Amino acid sequence: MSDTPIPTGPFGGLTRLDHVGIACRDLDASVEFYRSTYGFEVEHEEVNEEQGVREAMLRINGTDDGGATYLQLLEPTREDSPVAKFLARNGEGVHHIAFGTGDVAASAAGIGERGVRVLDDEPRSGTAGSRIVFLHPKDCGGVLTELVQSAH
């Protein structure tokens, strides 16, 4: 058990930029672009059926709080998924940003009290056992925003 205190503060205790989510039509081609152009390697790949995505996490760097910063490449697995809808409207591109937090439920509650719609009543399952919630893009200046608490 860690005795690190849960972060608190006026902005829900967010500690870092965890990842930028990018919608793509062909995950393997997108992974290859980021590998051959920038040298980023895949740290983790999975299918998340609840979110309707096949995804790859590409690690950019490590940070001194034990987390890292990633690109999350997202290919839809079904036509009624958020990423499929986004691709149909906008084509490939930046889909969301995600802030890291030590306590996703507390952060979501604090941010929700400020009038931002939290799209998930309870945190859902994200990459590699993380717990995630989304904030409505219309309440965040047009930016779909995720809060993520990593499994470790």
Minimum distance from CB of 5 to Co ion (Å)? 26
Candidate list 51, 55, 95, 149, residue with the active-site label: 55
Nearest-CA neighbor of 25 among 89, 57, 73?
73
The residue among 40 and 81 lying less far from ligand CMX, judged by its C-beta, is 81
Spatial neighbors of 52 by CB under 8 A, at least 6 apart, are 76, 77, 78, 80, 81, 82, 83, 84
Q: Which of residues 1-40 bind ligand CMX (CB under 6 A)?
A: 21
Tell me which residue has its CB nearest to ligand CMX. 82
Residue number with CB closer to ligand CMX (67 or 82)? 82
Name the pairing type of β-strands 68-76 and 53-62.
antiparallel
H or E stretch covering 111: helix 104-112
Active site residue 146: yes
Counting contacts by CB under 6 A, is residue 126 touching ligand CMX? yes
Consecutive H or E run containing 81: none
Residue numbers at the binding site for ligand CMX (CB under 6 A):
21, 51, 53, 72, 74, 82-83, 85-86, 89, 95-96, 119, 126-127, 134, 137, 142, 144, 146
